[in-house]
Copies of this chain bind each other. A is one copy, B any other.
């Protein structure tokens, strides 16, 4: 007799997390002898805790297929980290209670490092409570900071968006620099790891091509060196395009964004780090500037998703189910780089325990000696990840994204659970 599966999206969503969902659901449907229904958590793991499950079998084939090109989290995601096993055992016991009530024996958790940790714990507690579950993590993070896997689904599309945007805005600024804006700053995501900032570097290969400066969270901000470089760029190329990670820190360890700048009256000015950096330049050199804050646009931009990324996102969803039906427990599919040129990859797997809570930062060898650019090694690593376009279908000039019915599964437990 088949038993059911639970799938949940966790943490910040991406342009391709639904492609992973699609991989899970389509593959599960092919293993009907082992997996009955795939229930999704409404708003992530919260859906499991509150017994608010979505019956994905109520969606027809074309709606599920459309997940492959739809950004955001189709079932809802959440920022809700389960506590430690001993700290809040009740949460884990509740999960098992709900899973038991709905005959859920497969647990698929689609998220980043924290989520892999949670999936690992769920696997342990199931065992202990006499309700063994097959728990498989599915990697997803735009930050690309998961260890063990060569790269992480979600990242390649952000990288492509940022590189394309820098190239395009760079041409704009170049045309106007003589009489107008000379400095353009794009603030990008990545509070702890500079992978997204590094991807801006793909936009240009030669020194005169934007971005002229990248500020990484891994490199302590050195204002004097930075200002000198900005001046040099403007004098040499006529303009300066900068990509700055939201996670850049001052020598005192504070985020540059938080440190802020002071106005003429000594008052702190708040704002994104892009604005802080741009204002700083204006004060030092008087250059006219513009700045942009891509924010959620960068991680939801399915219209310019990387084909490689979209395919890998689907593949890890598919592989998760294959691993599960093969009886592999407490594992996560990974992306392995088989060859560099031509780029070839395959899906491997890793123990959740080896992935959980380990953050992969940009290695020192990927950042140029001056701290303002990416090395050829970094470029070689990043380039394959933005290859190919995976355009969504359009209708009336706009991408045709699916919104699922998200039909609720009838509750079997009378109990409520306080989050």
Contacts and interface: CB of A to CB of B under 8 A. Distances in A.
Interface of A: 9, 12-13, 15, 43, 46, 70-80, 160, 163-165, 167-169, 171-176, 178-181, 184, 186, 202-203, 263, 265, 267-272, 275, 290-297, 299-304, 306, 383, 386-389, 391, 394, 396-399, 401
Nearest to A184: B296
B78 A179 contact: yes
A176 B73 contact: yes
Contacts of A304: 303-304
B291 A295 contact: yes
A391 B390 CA distance: 12
Contacts of A269: 269-271
29 contacts: A12-B176, A13-B176, A43-B175, A43-B179, A46-B178, A46-B179, A71-B171, A72-B172, A76-B176, A76-B178, A78-B180, A79-B179, A163-B397, A163-B398, A167-B398, A172-B296, A173-B296, A202-B397, A267-B268, A271-B271, A291-B293, A292-B295, A292-B296, A293-B295, A303-B304, A306-B397, A383-B396, A386-B398, A389-B394
For this chain, the copies found in one complex come to: 2
Contacts of A394: 389
Contact of A397 (B76, B176, B180, B383): B383
B391 A386 contact: no
Task: Give the dominant DSSP class at A's interface.
Answer: mixed
A313 B169 CA distance: 19
A175 B299 contact: no
A168 B157 CA distance: 13
B296 A290 contact: yes
Contacts of A75: 175
B164 A399 contact: yes
A290 B300 contact: no
Interface centre among A171, A293, A383 (most CB of B within 10 A): A171
Given A76-B178, A168-B302, A202 B12 contact: no
A303 B164 CA distance: 8
B290 A292 contact: no
B306 A13 contact: no
A13 B175 contact: yes
A292 B297 contact: yes
Contacts of A163: 397-398
Given A13-B172, A76-B174, A172-B296, 19 more contacts: A13-B175, A73-B172, A74-B175, A75-B175, A77-B176, A163-B398, A168-B301, A168-B302, A168-B303, A169-B296, A171-B401, A172-B299, A172-B300, A202-B397, A203-B398, A265-B267, A269-B270, A290-B296, A294-B294
Nearest to A306: B397
A169 B267 contact: no
Given A70-B171, A172-B71, A80 B179 contact: yes
Given A43-B179, A176-B13, A297 B78 contact: no
Interface centre among A78, A174, A297 (most CB of B within 10 A): A297
A399 B46 CA distance: 41
Contacts of A167: 398-399, 401
